Amino acid sequence: MNQSTSAFSTIPLFCLLFLVTFGNSQLDYRFYDSACPNLSKIVRYGVWSAIANETRLAASILRLHFHDCFVNGCEGSILLDDSSNFKGEKNANPNRNSARGFEVIDAIKENVEKACPSTVSCTDILTLAARDAVFLSGGPFWPVSLGRRDGLTANETAANTDLPSPFEPLENITAKFISKGLDAKDMVVLSGGHTIGFAQCFTFKRRLFNFDGAGNPDPTLDASLLGSLRSICPNQDDSDTNLAPLDAATTTKFDNSYFKILVNSSGLLQSDQALMGDNKTAALVFGYSKFPFLFTKDFASSMVKMSNIGILTGQNGQIRKNCRVVN
């Protein structure tokens, strides 16, 4: 009797330890509970109203968070405009005429400042907004631990070198994830973010017309998808900014369809379809294509890992008043 009671009393402790190792000890789920009790509602409403007007903004916000975290860590540097002290990241190759959703974060920040001035970082707002964007698109929910502070600078060069490009080989992309403390599995499951949103024709056009330099398309691209992509992206420069869905089957729904699409050779970017060209990553793709629950569970835990890259806490950094400029 005594023995079983003590066995039970160890369960909560065990769960607590699990939470601590799973999260980040410098952050706290209740960080703003007393200083900004309505924070999560304000963020949720801001994301909800943006998506209600334009569905694609869910994808755009998720990508902003990824592009923030991969460049000097999650510290809101992507949100900064160019200044006299530095060139911002908004004009770096992966972001120029591509990163979007800044107005959504500005509008949320304005409402947060009204409720609790100079209290909540832009970085925490973006982290929460990315989680809400996934959840409101039908994806998983996960608790976000808070207390990240905003960085004092931005680095255009780092945005050019550290963010993955759709034109580079899988090994290079994997190396970029590993250099951020993530692994190949995080890379595969987080690529599932491409279950929502769009890409411009220039990011995959080479696959349609002249993949091999002899006028042939990419042999790993499904023939009927090839036809429809050629009509969206005719072989002329003025089609470069036309948009095609990353997941043509269920473009606005956050589900595991991205992985099903890779299995049947219908990935949009060369870097997407490349996940099927390696036995280890292909095994993960197959798993996520068959087991939606496995995808949502692993996606949530890799998002938590990503949102803890290179964070500033305590006295480091600052709480920006305006996400576009350092105080």
Ligand X SMILES: *[C@@H]1O[C@H](CO)[C@@H](O)[C@H](O)[C@H]1NC(C)=O
Which residue in the list 63, 67, 131, 207 is annotated as catalytic?
A: 67
| Stretch of 13-21, 88-96, 236-244, 256-264 contacting ligand X, by CB under 6 A | 256-264
Residue count at the site for ligand X (CB under 6 A)? Answer: 20
Contacts of 101 (CB under 8 A, 6+ apart): 50, 57, 60, 61, 63, 64
Which of the choices ligand HEM, ligand X, none does residue 100 contact, using the CB cut-off of 5 to 8 A by kind? ligand HEM
CA distance 270 to 191: 12
**Contacts of the segment 105-112: beta carbons below 8 A, 24+ positions apart:** 105/61, 105/64, 105/79, 105/129, 105/323, 106/322, 106/323, 106/324, 107/46, 107/50, 108/42, 108/43, 108/46, 108/47, 109/322, 109/323, 111/42, 111/45, 111/46, 112/36, 112/39, 112/42, 112/43
Closest residue to ligand HEM, Cβ-based?
197
- Which residues belong to the annotated binding site for Ca(2+)? 68, 71, 73, 77, 89, 195, 247, 250, 255
User: For ligand X, which residue of 33, 35, 38, 283 counts as binding (CB under 6 A)?
Assistant: 38
Is residue 179 a contact point for ligand X (CB under 6 A)? Answer: no
CA distance 318 to 123: 10
Is residue 267 a contact point for ligand HEM (CB under 6 A)? Answer: no
Which of the choices ligand X, ligand HEM, none does residue 166 contact, using the CB cut-off of 5 to 8 A by kind? ligand HEM
279-290 and 184-191 helices cross at what angle (nearest 10)? 40
Is residue 136 a contact point for ligand HEM (CB under 6 A)? Answer: no
- Which residues belong to the annotated binding site? 68, 71, 73, 77, 89, 164, 194-195, 247, 250, 255
Is 67 catalytic? The answer is yes
User: For ligand X, which residue of 161, 228, 235, 327 counts as binding (CB under 6 A)?
Assistant: 161
292-306 and 184-191 helices cross at what angle (nearest 10)? 110
- Catalytic residue set: 67
Residues that bind ligand HEM (CB under 6 A): 56, 59-60, 62-63, 66, 98, 100, 164-166, 173, 187, 190-191, 193-194, 196-200, 203, 246, 269, 271
